[in-house]
Structure formats: structure tokens, C-alpha cells
């Protein structure tokens, strides 16, 4: 039986008529043979019609032309109808689109027909062709053969000179930067001892021994100001006439500097890092007692330093300290530059207890505080979490 498929749009109508197989009552039966295809534009007398060859040529020409317009890449389209391509589509100077088709009538005579399409008619023609290709109930065997264009058909969007400007600017910038870097002097670095080496020297039992206080090498001044001569006799110097107070004030810093109980900043900082994994004291009453005990201890030590000669720092020193349940300071670390520069002028190194076995895990609970030492001798303690940023 004969069936029609119509694709009706406001400015273009495409009708395909052909034979179907199967039940006559089934409207979805595909066309097996195309008897006639007609393309018309409402509002005008323009009309094109033909068989399957005309329909195939119309579909291919319209698809190629639309792809060329949308992509901006000029497609090599035919300028005149031929036997293999009886339908061509070309742009005109007045912003229209000229559709030229070679049609064959019933007697076999060929006629050429030209239609000028505006933009709206062209868009509706493209839409009608797309509906025909996506309709599987009309001609299932019809498919658009799309192939990529050759590289020679692609034209650059910018001229070659304009595309070379960024590369030239980049090369010139690199050359100028290279010349400036070449003129800079080579930096010189002085090797510095790492904190690990200093720590190993402090805790290494095989390191060089320090002479005990009061012992003197042969031919040198002893701690009491006496000099040993080669004959074995001891000559008393003028230092023996110094007062006991002056002697005690002079000897105190030496005893602190040579004592093994003084914790250096590196060892104290490492100990504080190991205490980050220790259990935290959660009892608020105990934290309050520890805060008061450590505050009293530090204030008393600062008073002694002030009585001996005054506090030698003029800005606040901020440290982070760890305290055991007994009130012992187990480690400290500076939190500002002034705290590092003036650590030897504070009582922290003398009051800090660091275990001899640094590898032993810390199982006892500890509390961490932020300690602020004011130049006027005031001590401020603030509890902090072990995971707070340093």
C-alpha cells in the first residue's frame, strides 16, 4: 500500500511518499520504495520534487551546508548541479541561500530550478531533514555519512604574525630573565650544625668530659684565684680579697651553666614533642592546682633573678610548657623570637626535668600551658590542648 510521511514546519514542508509492506492498518510500517519526495515553502510557489536520488542529494547537501555555517570551517561545496549531486546550496551576496536542483519529469526531460531562501526558510529546511533522518519509521536505511574534513580545509582564526607575537614575547622575557639571573652573584652558605647533632653531643655519654669545678690544669688559674707554679707552691692572688657576696654572685651562673640538670632548648623542645601523645589531664581541679603551683614557682624564681641583678629582657616571652601531675615541668618550647633569644635569662632551663631515657614512652598524664613571662616579673599561665597550633 502507499503511505506518506509529512514533516510540516512553519516555513518548510517535506513530504515523502512510498510503498510499505506488512499490515495495511499498521501506521508504523517503514517505506520500502520511495515513489516521490516533495519540498515546498509555504507562502511561495517554490516547489521541488523527485525520487529517491533527489531525496538523497537534498539530505546530503543541506547537512553539509548547515555544518559549514555552524562550524565556521568552509566546506568544499559544489557550485553547480552534476549527475552525482543534482542538488547544490550556495550563499549569495544579499545574505540569502540559493538552492539549485536538477529535476527530471515523467518524460525524462531535465529542468533546473533555483530557489532563493532566507535564513528562516533555511533553518526550517534543516529541521525537516533532521526529523527525516531521526524518524526510523520512514526510511530506516537512510543515514547521514559524516566524515572529518582534511586539515587543508581548516583556516586559522588569526594570521600567522599575530599568532607568533605571544611566543616572541615569551622568548624575549626568558632571555631578559636569564641575563638578570646571570648578573646576580652566587650565594654563599655557611654550614650550620643541626639540632640533632647538638642534642647527640648533650646526651652522648662518650663525649669529652668537662673538668669538675675547682680543678685546674697545670699552669692555669684555679677556681679560687690561686696559681700553681712549677715548683709546686701556690701563690695567692688578689681575688682572695673579694667579698663572699661577690664570690657567690659570680659563681651562681657558672654553676648553672655547668650543671647537668639544666635543660637546653633543643632537648626541651624534643621532650615537649614526645609529650604530645601523652594522656592529657582532664581534672579541672587538678589543672587549677597545677596552674597555681607552677605560677608560684616561676614567680619565686623570677624574684631571685631580679634580686641578683634584675630581669634582662624588656618584652613578653611566650613559651609552651608541659607539666606533670606533681607540678614538674617536663618540656618547653618558645612561641616568639624574644622567648628563644632570652631563654638563658629565665628560670625555665633550671626548673625543667627531662628523663634520661628519651626513647621511653610517656605514660603519665600531663597538662600543657601557654606561659607568658612579663618584664615586670608577672607570670601568666593559660591551659591549651596538645593539638593546638604552635
Q: H or E segment at 63?
A: helix 52-71
> Is 156 among the domain residues?
no
C-alpha cell at 39: 519540498
- Pairs from 117-120 (Cβ < 8 Å, separation ≥ 24): 117/41, 119/95, 120/11
Q: Phi-psi bin for 76: left (phi > 0), alpha (psi -120 to 50), beta? A: beta
C-alpha cell at 227: 696559681
Q: Is the pLDDT of residue 274 over 80?
A: no
Structural domain ending residue among the three candidates 98, 121, 148? 148
What percent of the chain stands above pLDDT 70? 72
The per-residue pLDDT for range 239-260, each reduced to its tens digit, is 444 444 344 433 333 333 333 4
Q: Are residues 14 and 142 in the same domain?
A: yes
pTM: 0.40
Band (214; pLDDT cuts 50, 70, 90): very low
Q: H or E segment at 290?
A: helix 284-308
The per-residue pLDDT for range 78-95, each reduced to its tens digit, is 778 888 888 999 888 888
pLDDT at 100: 92
> Is 334 among the domain residues?
yes
| Mean local confidence (pLDDT), 111-125 | 92
Query: How far, CA to CA in Å, does 271 sit from each of 199, 331, 367, 370?
Result: 11, 5, 14, 16
Q: Are residues 17 and 142 in the same domain?
A: yes
* Rounded Cα gap, residues 321 and 332, in angstroms: 4
Q: Facing residues of 62 across strands?
A: none
Range of the domain at 107: 2-148
Structural domain ending residue among the three candidates 98, 133, 148? 148
Structural domain ending residue among the three candidates 148, 174, 206? 148
What is the rounded (10 degree) CA torsion for 270, 276, 279, 280? 110
Band (115; pLDDT cuts 50, 70, 90): very high
> Is 171 among the domain residues?
no
Which is higher by pLDDT, 332 or 73? 332
What percent of the chain stands above pLDDT 90? 19
Phi, psi (rounded to 5 degrees) for 141: -85, -5
Number of domains in the chain: 2
Q: Are residues 268 and 144 in the same domain?
A: no
Q: Are residues 13 and 140 in the same domain?
A: yes
> Is 169 among the domain residues?
no
Amino acid at each position: 500500500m502507499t503511505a506518506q510521511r509529512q514533516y510540516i514546519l512553519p516555513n518548510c514542508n517535506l513530504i515523502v511518499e512510498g510503498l510499505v509492506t506488512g499490515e495495511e492498518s499498521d501506521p508504523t510500517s517503514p517505506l520500502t520504495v520511495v515513489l516521490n519526495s516533495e519540498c515546498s515553502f509555504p507562502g511561495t510557489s517554490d516547489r521541488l520534487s523527485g525520487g529517491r536520488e533527489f531525496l538523497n542529494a537534498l539530505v546530503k547537501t543541506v547537512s553539509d551546508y548547515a555544518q559549514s555555517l555552524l562550524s565556521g570551517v568552509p566546506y568544499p561545496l559544489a557550485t553547480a548541479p552534476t549527475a552525482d549531486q543534482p542538488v547544490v546550496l550556495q550563499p549569495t551576496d544579499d545574505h540569502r541561500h540559493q538552492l539549485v536542483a536538477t529535476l527530471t519529469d515523467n518524460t525524462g526531460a531535465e529542468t533546473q530550478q533555483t530557489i532563493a531562501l532566507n535564513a528562516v526558510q533555511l533553518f526550517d529546511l534543516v529541521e525537516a531533514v533532521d526529523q527525516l533522518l531521526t524518524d526510523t519509521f520512514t526510511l530506516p536505511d537512510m543515514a547521514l555519512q559524516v566524515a572529518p574534513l582534511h586539515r587543508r580545509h581548516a583556516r586559522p582564526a588569526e594570521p600567522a604574525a599575530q599568532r607568533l607575537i605571544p611566543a616572541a614575547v615569551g622568548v624575549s622575557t626568558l632571555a631578559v630573565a636569564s641575563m638578570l639571573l646571570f648578573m646576580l652573584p652566587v650565594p654563599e652558605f655557611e654550614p650550620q650544625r643541626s639540632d640533632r647533632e647538638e642534642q647527640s653531643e648533650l646526651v652522648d655519654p662518650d663525649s669529652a668530659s668537662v673538668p669538675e669545678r675547682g680543678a685546674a690544669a697545670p699552669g692555669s688559674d684555679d677556681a679560687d684565684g690561686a696559681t700553681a707554679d712549677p715548683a709546686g707552691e701556690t701563690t695567692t692572688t688578689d681575688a682572695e680579697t673579694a667579698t663572699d657576696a661577690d664570690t657567690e654572685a659570680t659563681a651562681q651562673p657558672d654553676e648553672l651553666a655547668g650543671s647537668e640538670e639544666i635543660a637546653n632548648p633543643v632537648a626541651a623542645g624534643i621532650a615537649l614533642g614526645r609529650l604530645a601523645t601523652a594522656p592529657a589531664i582532664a581534672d579541672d581541679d587538678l589543672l587549677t592546682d597545677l596552674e597555681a603551683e607552677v605560677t608560684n614557682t616561676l614567680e619565686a624564681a623570677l624574684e631571685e633573678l631580679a634580686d641578683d641583678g634584675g630581669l634582662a629582657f624588656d618584652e613578653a616571652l611566650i613559651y609552651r610548657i608541659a607539666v606533670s601531675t606533681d607540678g614538674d615541668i617536663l618540656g618547653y618550647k618558645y612561641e616568639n623570637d624574644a622567648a628563644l633569644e632570652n631563654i638563658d635569662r629565665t628560670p625555665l632551663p633550671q626548673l625543667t626535668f627531662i628523663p634520661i631515657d628519651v626513647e621511653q614512652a610517656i605514660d603519665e598524664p600531663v597538662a600543657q600551658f601557654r606561659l607568658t613571662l612579663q618584664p615586670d616579673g608577672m607570670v601568666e599561665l593559660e591551659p591549651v590542648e596538645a593539638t593546638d597550633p604552635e
